[in-house]
Protein backbone atom coordinates (compact mmCIF):
# COMPACT_ATOMS: atom_id res chain seq x y z
CA UNK A 1 0.00 0.00 0.00
CA UNK A 2 1.24 3.51 -0.81
CA UNK A 3 1.91 5.18 2.51
CA UNK A 4 0.82 8.57 1.14
CA UNK A 5 -2.84 7.83 1.85
CA UNK A 6 -3.59 7.01 5.46
CA UNK A 7 -6.85 5.84 6.98
CA UNK A 8 -8.17 6.53 10.48
CA UNK A 9 -10.58 3.82 11.56
CA UNK A 10 -13.88 5.20 12.85
CA UNK A 11 -15.32 3.93 16.15
CA UNK A 12 -12.42 1.52 16.41
CA UNK A 13 -12.59 0.55 20.07
CA UNK A 14 -16.36 0.84 20.31
CA UNK A 15 -16.91 -1.52 17.38
CA UNK A 16 -14.43 -4.17 18.53
CA UNK A 17 -15.73 -4.06 22.11
CA UNK A 18 -19.30 -4.55 20.87
CA UNK A 19 -18.27 -7.35 18.49
CA UNK A 20 -16.04 -9.57 20.64
CA UNK A 21 -17.79 -11.66 23.25
CA UNK A 22 -15.65 -14.83 23.11
CA UNK A 23 -11.90 -14.57 22.38
CA UNK A 24 -11.64 -18.16 21.16
CA UNK A 25 -14.38 -17.89 18.52
CA UNK A 26 -14.44 -17.05 14.80
CA UNK A 27 -15.26 -13.51 13.66
CA UNK A 28 -15.77 -11.75 10.33
CA UNK A 29 -14.49 -8.32 9.36
CA UNK A 30 -16.58 -7.96 6.23
CA UNK A 31 -14.92 -4.69 5.18
CA UNK A 32 -11.17 -5.00 5.80
CA UNK A 33 -10.27 -1.60 4.32
CA UNK A 34 -6.84 -0.83 5.72
CA UNK A 35 -7.17 -3.28 8.57
CA UNK A 36 -7.74 -1.06 11.59
CA UNK A 37 -10.57 -3.13 13.01
CA UNK A 38 -8.96 -6.43 11.98
CA UNK A 39 -5.68 -5.72 13.73
CA UNK A 40 -7.42 -4.77 16.97
CA UNK A 41 -9.63 -7.86 16.79
CA UNK A 42 -6.58 -10.09 16.32
CA UNK A 43 -4.89 -8.48 19.32
CA UNK A 44 -7.82 -9.54 21.49
CA UNK A 45 -8.38 -13.07 20.16
CA UNK A 46 -6.94 -16.12 21.89
CA UNK A 47 -4.67 -18.53 20.00
CA UNK A 48 -7.81 -20.55 19.18
CA UNK A 49 -9.66 -17.55 17.74
CA UNK A 50 -10.05 -16.90 14.02
CA UNK A 51 -10.73 -13.84 11.87
CA UNK A 52 -12.04 -13.99 8.31
CA UNK A 53 -11.89 -10.74 6.35
CA UNK A 54 -13.58 -9.73 3.11
CA UNK A 55 -12.77 -6.86 0.75
CA UNK A 56 -13.21 -6.34 -2.97
CA UNK A 57 -10.59 -3.59 -3.25
CA UNK A 58 -7.29 -5.01 -4.56
CA UNK A 59 -5.35 -2.41 -2.56
CA UNK A 60 -7.06 -3.59 0.64
CA UNK A 61 -6.26 -7.21 -0.17
CA UNK A 62 -2.62 -6.25 -0.72
CA UNK A 63 -2.57 -4.54 2.68
CA UNK A 64 -4.13 -7.64 4.29
CA UNK A 65 -1.30 -9.76 2.88
CA UNK A 66 1.02 -7.92 5.26
CA UNK A 67 -0.67 -9.55 8.26
CA UNK A 68 1.38 -12.64 9.04
CA UNK A 69 -0.98 -14.30 11.48
CA UNK A 70 -2.19 -17.89 11.04
CA UNK A 71 -5.50 -16.96 12.69
CA UNK A 72 -6.26 -14.50 9.87
CA UNK A 73 -7.45 -14.96 6.28
CA UNK A 74 -8.64 -12.51 3.61
CA UNK A 75 -11.05 -13.09 0.74
CA UNK A 76 -10.95 -10.88 -2.36
CA UNK A 77 -14.74 -10.63 -2.45
CA UNK A 78 -17.46 -8.21 -1.48
CA UNK A 79 -19.48 -8.89 1.64
CA UNK A 80 -22.42 -10.05 -0.44
CA UNK A 81 -20.58 -13.41 -0.31
CA UNK A 82 -20.91 -13.77 3.49
CA UNK A 83 -23.48 -16.49 2.88
CA UNK A 84 -20.72 -18.77 1.59
CA UNK A 85 -19.59 -19.31 5.18
CA UNK A 86 -21.11 -22.28 7.04
CA UNK A 87 -24.36 -21.69 8.94
CA UNK A 88 -24.00 -20.62 12.58
CA UNK A 89 -20.20 -20.63 12.24
CA UNK A 90 -19.21 -17.17 13.51
CA UNK A 91 -19.60 -15.25 16.77
CA UNK A 92 -19.64 -11.81 15.20
CA UNK A 93 -19.89 -9.90 11.92
CA UNK A 94 -18.56 -6.36 11.50
CA UNK A 95 -19.58 -4.15 8.57
CA UNK A 96 -17.82 -0.78 8.28
CA UNK A 97 -19.58 0.73 5.29
CA UNK A 98 -18.64 3.50 2.90
CA UNK A 99 -15.32 4.51 1.38
CA UNK A 100 -11.92 4.42 3.06
CA UNK A 101 -9.74 7.52 3.17
CA UNK A 102 -7.11 6.06 0.80
CA UNK A 103 -9.83 5.45 -1.79
CA UNK A 104 -11.00 9.05 -1.48
CA UNK A 105 -7.56 10.62 -1.30
CA UNK A 106 -5.96 8.72 -4.19
CA UNK A 107 -6.91 10.68 -7.35
CA UNK A 108 -6.35 7.58 -9.50
CA UNK A 109 -9.40 5.91 -7.92
CA UNK A 110 -11.75 8.67 -9.08
CA UNK A 111 -13.87 8.86 -5.91
CA UNK A 112 -13.34 12.53 -5.12
CA UNK A 113 -14.38 15.74 -6.85
CA UNK A 114 -11.59 17.59 -5.04
CA UNK A 115 -8.80 16.34 -7.31
CA UNK A 116 -8.39 15.49 -10.97
CA UNK A 117 -8.54 11.78 -11.79
CA UNK A 118 -10.19 9.21 -14.04
CA UNK A 119 -13.94 8.95 -13.48
CA UNK A 120 -13.85 5.41 -12.12
CA UNK A 121 -15.21 4.95 -8.54
CA UNK A 122 -15.15 1.15 -8.64
CA UNK A 123 -14.14 -0.39 -5.33
CA UNK A 124 -12.96 -3.46 -7.24
CA UNK A 125 -10.92 -2.14 -10.15
CA UNK A 126 -10.51 -5.63 -11.60
CA UNK A 127 -14.12 -6.02 -12.69
CA UNK A 128 -17.29 -4.18 -13.54
CA UNK A 129 -18.09 -0.92 -15.30
CA UNK A 130 -16.61 2.41 -14.26
CA UNK A 131 -18.73 5.52 -13.80
CA UNK A 132 -17.29 6.99 -17.00
CA UNK A 133 -18.23 3.88 -18.97
CA UNK A 134 -21.77 3.90 -17.61
CA UNK A 135 -22.32 7.62 -18.19
CA UNK A 136 -21.09 7.22 -21.78
CA UNK A 137 -24.21 5.26 -22.73
CA UNK A 138 -26.87 5.80 -20.04
CA UNK A 139 -30.05 7.66 -20.93
CA UNK A 140 -30.96 10.90 -19.16
CA UNK A 141 -33.85 9.18 -17.37
CA UNK A 142 -31.58 6.46 -16.03
CA UNK A 143 -29.00 8.96 -14.79
CA UNK A 144 -31.66 11.10 -13.11
CA UNK A 145 -33.11 8.06 -11.36
CA UNK A 146 -29.70 7.09 -9.96
CA UNK A 147 -28.96 10.62 -8.75
CA UNK A 148 -32.38 10.91 -7.13
CA UNK A 149 -32.51 7.45 -5.53
CA UNK A 150 -28.91 7.15 -4.32
CA UNK A 151 -27.95 10.80 -3.82
CA UNK A 152 -31.29 12.35 -2.92
CA UNK A 153 -30.35 15.01 -5.45
CA UNK A 154 -33.02 17.68 -6.02
CA UNK A 155 -31.51 18.68 -9.34
CA UNK A 156 -31.21 15.15 -10.71
CA UNK A 157 -33.06 15.89 -13.95
CA UNK A 158 -31.04 19.03 -14.71
CA UNK A 159 -27.72 17.26 -14.03
CA UNK A 160 -28.70 14.23 -16.12
CA UNK A 161 -29.69 16.41 -19.07
CA UNK A 162 -26.42 18.33 -18.79
CA UNK A 163 -24.42 15.08 -18.83
CA UNK A 164 -26.19 13.83 -21.95
CA UNK A 165 -25.89 17.21 -23.69
CA UNK A 166 -22.18 17.35 -22.92
CA UNK A 167 -21.78 13.82 -24.29
CA UNK A 168 -23.51 14.74 -27.54
CA UNK A 169 -21.57 17.98 -27.99
CA UNK A 170 -18.05 17.13 -26.85
CA UNK A 171 -17.94 13.44 -26.09
CA UNK A 172 -18.29 11.48 -22.84
CA UNK A 173 -17.03 12.71 -19.48
CA UNK A 174 -13.67 11.20 -18.61
CA UNK A 175 -12.44 12.84 -15.41
CA UNK A 176 -13.69 13.76 -11.96
CA UNK A 177 -12.97 17.44 -12.59
CA UNK A 178 -15.10 17.44 -15.74
CA UNK A 179 -18.06 15.95 -13.89
CA UNK A 180 -17.68 18.26 -10.89
CA UNK A 181 -17.56 21.32 -13.15
CA UNK A 182 -20.60 20.19 -15.10
CA UNK A 183 -22.62 19.59 -11.92
CA UNK A 184 -21.62 22.99 -10.53
CA UNK A 185 -23.09 24.58 -13.64
CA UNK A 186 -26.35 22.63 -13.40
CA UNK A 187 -27.04 22.97 -9.65
CA UNK A 188 -28.65 26.30 -8.75
CA UNK A 189 -28.33 26.22 -4.97
CA UNK A 190 -26.67 24.02 -2.38
CA UNK A 191 -26.47 23.71 1.39
CA UNK A 192 -23.82 25.98 2.94
CA UNK A 193 -20.44 24.30 3.03
CA UNK A 194 -21.38 21.47 0.66
CA UNK A 195 -19.84 21.16 -2.78
CA UNK A 196 -22.49 21.03 -5.53
CA UNK A 197 -21.07 17.68 -6.73
CA UNK A 198 -21.29 15.91 -3.35
CA UNK A 199 -24.62 14.19 -3.92
CA UNK A 200 -23.86 13.29 -7.54
CA UNK A 201 -20.55 11.63 -6.66
CA UNK A 202 -22.18 9.75 -3.78
CA UNK A 203 -25.01 8.50 -5.98
CA UNK A 204 -22.80 7.31 -8.81
CA UNK A 205 -20.40 5.57 -6.41
CA UNK A 206 -23.23 3.75 -4.64
CA UNK A 207 -24.79 2.76 -7.95
CA UNK A 208 -21.70 1.53 -9.77
CA UNK A 209 -20.71 -0.59 -6.75
CA UNK A 210 -24.27 -1.78 -6.03
CA UNK A 211 -23.61 -0.82 -2.41
CA UNK A 212 -27.17 -0.82 -1.07
CA UNK A 213 -28.10 -4.10 -2.74
CA UNK A 214 -24.92 -5.69 -1.42
CA UNK A 215 -25.66 -4.38 2.07
CA UNK A 216 -29.12 -5.95 2.05
CA UNK A 217 -27.67 -9.29 0.90
CA UNK A 218 -24.97 -9.19 3.58
CA UNK A 219 -27.42 -8.41 6.36
CA UNK A 220 -29.63 -11.34 5.39
CA UNK A 221 -26.60 -13.63 5.16
CA UNK A 222 -25.46 -12.56 8.63
CA UNK A 223 -28.58 -14.12 10.13
CA UNK A 224 -27.52 -17.49 8.72
CA UNK A 225 -23.86 -17.45 9.68
CA UNK A 226 -24.17 -15.96 13.18
CA UNK A 227 -24.30 -18.30 16.15
CA UNK A 228 -26.82 -17.67 18.96
CA UNK A 229 -25.60 -14.63 20.95
CA UNK A 230 -23.43 -13.71 17.96
CA UNK A 231 -23.08 -9.97 17.38
CA UNK A 232 -23.87 -7.93 14.29
CA UNK A 233 -22.08 -4.56 14.29
CA UNK A 234 -22.68 -2.13 11.44
CA UNK A 235 -21.15 1.33 10.97
CA UNK A 236 -22.86 3.47 8.35
CA UNK A 237 -22.05 6.94 7.07
CA UNK A 238 -25.17 8.20 5.35
CA UNK A 239 -28.91 7.99 5.83
CA UNK A 240 -29.58 5.52 3.00
CA UNK A 241 -27.29 2.91 4.57
CA UNK A 242 -28.42 3.53 8.13
CA UNK A 243 -32.08 3.31 7.14
CA UNK A 244 -31.53 -0.14 5.66
CA UNK A 245 -29.64 -1.33 8.75
CA UNK A 246 -32.17 0.12 11.18
CA UNK A 247 -35.16 -1.36 9.33
CA UNK A 248 -33.44 -4.75 9.09
CA UNK A 249 -32.77 -4.89 12.82
CA UNK A 250 -36.27 -3.67 13.67
CA UNK A 251 -37.89 -6.19 11.33
CA UNK A 252 -36.04 -9.14 12.83
CA UNK A 253 -36.43 -7.93 16.43
CA UNK A 254 -40.21 -8.25 16.37
CA UNK A 255 -42.31 -11.34 16.84
CA UNK A 256 -44.25 -12.12 13.68
CA UNK A 257 -47.89 -13.16 14.00
CA UNK A 258 -49.64 -15.14 11.29
CA UNK A 259 -52.94 -13.37 10.69
CA UNK A 260 -54.31 -16.52 9.08
CA UNK A 261 -53.73 -18.42 12.33
CA UNK A 262 -54.50 -15.92 15.11
CA UNK A 263 -54.12 -18.45 17.92
CA UNK A 264 -50.80 -19.87 16.74
CA UNK A 265 -47.62 -18.95 18.55
CA UNK A 266 -45.75 -16.07 16.89
CA UNK A 267 -42.59 -16.72 14.97
CA UNK A 268 -39.68 -15.95 17.30
CA UNK A 269 -37.42 -12.98 16.80
CA UNK A 270 -34.02 -13.48 15.19
CA UNK A 271 -32.26 -10.39 16.54
CA UNK A 272 -32.19 -8.25 19.64
CA UNK A 273 -31.24 -4.62 19.14
CA UNK A 274 -28.57 -3.64 21.68
CA UNK A 275 -27.30 -0.13 21.05
CA UNK A 276 -26.83 2.81 18.72
CA UNK A 277 -23.51 4.65 19.03
CA UNK A 278 -22.13 7.84 17.49
CA UNK A 279 -18.52 9.07 17.60
CA UNK A 280 -17.53 11.18 20.55
CA UNK A 281 -16.86 14.89 20.18
CA UNK A 282 -13.16 14.15 20.59
CA UNK A 283 -13.18 11.62 17.74
CA UNK A 284 -15.03 14.01 15.43
CA UNK A 285 -12.56 16.77 16.28
CA UNK A 286 -9.64 14.49 15.46
CA UNK A 287 -11.24 12.91 12.38
CA UNK A 288 -13.96 15.09 10.80
CA UNK A 289 -14.87 12.28 8.38
CA UNK A 290 -16.32 10.39 11.35
CA UNK A 291 -19.00 13.00 12.08
CA UNK A 292 -21.78 11.26 10.13
CA UNK A 293 -21.04 7.74 11.42
CA UNK A 294 -23.70 5.71 13.23
CA UNK A 295 -22.96 2.27 14.69
CA UNK A 296 -25.82 -0.15 15.35
CA UNK A 297 -25.33 -3.34 17.34
CA UNK A 298 -27.66 -6.35 17.46
CA UNK A 299 -27.38 -9.88 18.86
CA UNK A 300 -28.56 -13.12 17.25
CA UNK A 301 -31.20 -14.82 19.35
CA UNK A 302 -31.55 -18.55 19.99
CA UNK A 303 -34.18 -18.90 17.26
Residues 62-119 pLDDT 10s: 999 999 999 999 999 999 999 999 999 999 999 999 777 777 778 888 888 888 999 9
Residues 106-122 pLDDT 10s: 888 888 888 899 999 99
Residues 182-217 pLDDT 10s: 999 998 777 777 889 999 999 999 999 999 999 999
The answer to whether residues 110 and 131 touch, using CB atoms and an 8 Å cutoff, is yes
Contacts of 22 (CB under 8 A, 6+ apart): 91
The answer to whether residues 269 and 249 touch, using CB atoms and an 8 Å cutoff, is no
Treating both helix axes as pointing N-terminal to C-terminal, what angle do 239-252 and 211-225 enclose, rounded to 10 degrees? Answer: 30
Q: What is the pLDDT of residue 6?
A: 59
Q: What is the pLDDT of residue 281?
A: 95
Query: pLDDT tier at 264 (50, 70, 90 boundaries)?
Result: low
Question: Residue 116: phi, psi to the nearest 5?
Answer: -75, 130
CATH of the domain at 196: 1.10.150.170
The answer to whether residues 95 and 231 belong to one domain is yes
The answer to whether residues 90 and 166 belong to one domain is no
For the chain, the domain total comes to: 2
Kindly tell me if the per-residue pLDDT of 3 is higher than 60.
no
Residue 77 placed within a domain: yes
Across the beta sheet with 50-54, what order do the strands follow?
72-75, 50-54, 26-29, 90-96, 226-236, 294-300, 271-277
Read off the pLDDT of each residue in 211-229 and give the average, rounded to a whole number.
97
- Of 163, 179, 208, which residue sits at a domain end? 208
Burial class (CB in 10 A: 0-12, 13-18, 19+), 139: exposed
Residues 129-148 pLDDT 10s: 999 999 999 999 999 999 99
- Of 170, 185, 208, which residue sits at a domain end? 208
DSSP conformational letter for 170: H
- Of 158, 185, 208, which residue sits at a domain end? 208
pTM of the predicted model as reported, rounded to 2 decimal places: 0.89
Q: What is the pLDDT of residue 58?
A: 92
Residue 263 placed within a domain: yes
Residue 234 placed within a domain: yes
Query: pLDDT tier at 1 (50, 70, 90 boundaries)?
Result: very low
Which element (helix H / strand E) includes 275?
Answer: strand 271-277
Question: Residue 253: phi, psi to the nearest 5?
Answer: -100, 0
Domain that holds residue 253: 12-101+211-300
CATH of the domain at 239: 3.40.50.150
Residue 192 placed within a domain: yes
Residues 243-260 pLDDT 10s: 999 999 999 998 655 566
Residue 5 placed within a domain: no
The answer to whether residues 96 and 218 belong to one domain is yes
Q: What is the pLDDT of residue 195?
A: 86
The answer to whether residues 169 and 292 belong to one domain is no
Residues 10-46 pLDDT 10s: 999 999 999 999 999 999 999 999 899 999 999 999 9
The answer to whether residues 220 and 286 belong to one domain is yes
Amino acid sequence: MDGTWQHTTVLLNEAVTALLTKPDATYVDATFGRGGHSRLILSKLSPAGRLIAFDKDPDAVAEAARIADPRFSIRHEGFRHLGQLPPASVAGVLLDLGVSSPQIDNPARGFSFRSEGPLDMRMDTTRGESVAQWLATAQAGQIAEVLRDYGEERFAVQIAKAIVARRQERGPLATTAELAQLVAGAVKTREPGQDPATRTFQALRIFVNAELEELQQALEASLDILQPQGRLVVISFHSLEDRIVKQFIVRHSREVFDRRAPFAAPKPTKLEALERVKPSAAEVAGNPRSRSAIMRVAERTEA
